Structure 1
Amino acid sequence: MHSIYDWFRRHRFAVDFVLMAVLWLVAMPFSVADGGYSSSTVDMVVAGIFATALIVPLAWRRTRTVLAGCLIAGVAILQWALHVPPVPADIAVPLIVYALAAFGPRWASLGGLGLALIGAILLVTRYFYNLTSLSLADIPYGIVMIIMVWVLVLFSWTAGDLTRTKRLREQALSDRARRLEIEAQHERDLAASDERAHIAREMHDIIAHSLSVIITQADGARYAAVESPEIAPETLATIAATGRTSLQEMRRLLGVLRGDDEASTRPLPGLRDLDELLLGIRAAGLPIDYSVTGEARRQLPPGAELTAYRAVQEGLTNVMKHAGPNVQASVNLSWNARGLTVTVQDDGRGATAGLSTAGIPAVPMPSGRARLGAATPVTEAAAAPSGTGGGNGLRGMAERVKLYDGSLSSGPLTGGGFGITAFIPYSEN
């Protein structure tokens, strides 16, 4: 049934043409037989012509509503002017009044109603009660007849206006449903984009750190094994442990992507796991000075702790990749009344040509020893050391911190080396 209704809506002219043809076949014989209350052949032909002219425009009552209304109005006025008596085909007048109210513009709807009301007066006064010979006794009957025709016209117009209101309401609902569908698609696209960004950050943090440790250990073992072969087992053990840890992290991430409930509920790395992270990096040959100042006023959310963990991991990974040989790194966690400040610094080559992820030149920071323990939040700059390929890791770190209304700054230190400082405020939810 629904498909039939859709077919009727898509083929409006065909449906209206068939209905017009049926109406013409029904009204035409009566109009010709009536012949204007005369048996004259001429009168019968004239009646047939006017009947056809009144009914045929109804084929365009929905596709060309105003044109059909003008044609029928013109034929009706010509019929009145030539004094052609009414015929059954005059039923086209209330039908076109309905069509104008239902499918035409508002001005055409009201104009058609006005013309039909005036036409009712002209019809009654010309064909039923002649004003020139009308007696006082006939006036009430004439008024009653005019009112009856008006009732027919007003009924047709009201029915059409109700149809118009229903059509506009259905169209508004259809437009709203279409807008909601578009908005839902946009929301799905945004969610997918956000999820891709999240996965990209996780993959970078896991792979970049692990491969940096593995490559550093492999290069060191290759050069040191010649003079000290006993170093090889220890180095291979560090590489194996780093690989196993990375494999576990990758399995956890892939489990989340597959919708594995068991994998998705496993605890994420947090501040409690920093000792293990630093132990692995120290085993890779990077000396690290780790300190904590202040006390936490309240516990950070798990996601914020993961952000702090990733900030330390990314900072130390960059030290291993870009700071050069014989460097010293320092990690400081500073708690204050507003939140946590994470600082990772080194005394290596620094970043003389660092650029922020937004293309803003990196601002030099105070020296490493003077900066440790600072608890004041910093502005977001996210500068990248030279050789980082545009600072993708720092850009991802800045995105992580921003999710928790924090800020991130990075850049070369005035006394040499490079520093990263991330501030993560307490969540007030």
Structure 2
Amino acid sequence: MSETLQTPPVSSGKPAQPGQPDQPGRVYQIFREITTGNAIISVLAVLLALLVGAILIAFTNEDVQKASVYFFSRPGDTVVAAWNSVSGAYSALFQGSVYNFRKPDFASGIKPLTETLTFATPLIAAGLGVALGFRVGLFNIGGRGQMLIAAALGGWVAFALDLPAGIHLVVALVVGVAGGALWGGLVGLLKARTGAHEVITTIMLNYVAYYLVSYLLRDGFLKTPGSNNPQSPASKPTAVFPDLLGPTYNLHLGFILVIIATIFTWWLLSRSNLGFQFRAVGLNPHAARVAGISVDRMYVYAMLLSGGLVGLAGINQVLGTSTSGFDAGIDSGIGFDAITVALLGRSRPWGVFAAGILFGAFKAGGFSMQAAEGVPIDIVLIVQSLIVLFIAAPPLVRAIFRLPTPGQKTPGAKTPRKRTTTPTEVVAS
């Protein structure tokens, strides 16, 4: 009769006490995961930008400048004036973008939030397109051109064709998105076939689209008959996005389409086989090619989808915002703001969605801040630029807030000793 006995592994160090976490501690591990993640950098970058914006607001305020003349005799006046200027400006920013407490009822008080969502709609769509390109390793800065082509083609369908209600809107939407997709796909095709860098081709195609649309508005099929202004005719009512909350608010169906686009982009990148190939190419195109992934084909597919999402922003402007006609400035700088939105959202669909709403709030509240407190609208642009600056320099943000560096060894933690002993079998007969 034989029996197999198994000895327990030899443990190194002190035995763990019941109810006590292992070193460095579960709480500390969670803290490190939060402080070394990308999300916290985005949040702190916004806070730093708002702090610098507050300093600029205080310096440009007339009351602060007057009180600073006698700062050394009565410093409290300068501090109070600075606080009043900053708090008043940011209070106006909040009331112009989220909720206006001065309105008599909730329906009118919530209107600033609907304006924020309206401004955010094209920013989110274009930001998703740029973020998709980032995930594949492509820097799509051709948002302006893609928006213009989408607006031109979809806008022509909106004012030139006579189609039944519903069908007219769908056709204009599909044609606009397809126009942006083809303009972006051309960039992917040039990169796949010739190796042309997407930054150069997108910049050049921005100019091509701008001057092409300008010509069509002046002398082509986009020109309004009998008018010398380079502006298209108004979109027909059958091709206009319906209002979501009634005629009192500007929020329209485009916001729902952007939510659907965000869900689609998230599913594409996180749950689909094509998204897996996109991410593989973005991480290492050489390794992806060795693994059997057609990198050139992924570039074309990615730019088609990226251009289509940016095209959604362009057609949103024509069918939802500028329904009375558009000109060559229909993009309103959204194509370039989308790069900031994608960076702030860390190229994650829901991060882009949140970043788009934040920048929509800046746009909606900036005008209120200027009207109520006399703060230059350029302050908002400076804050947006500083957000990009701080996001582009994570070590600077970590140094200011004394955050741990990712991968850094926990202070005071001992390196655990490797266990060299393994369970052995002792056979007794």
The answer to whether TM tops 0.5 is no
Larger fraction in strand: 1
**TM-score normalized with structure 1 length:** 0.20
**TM-score normalized with structure 2 length:** 0.20
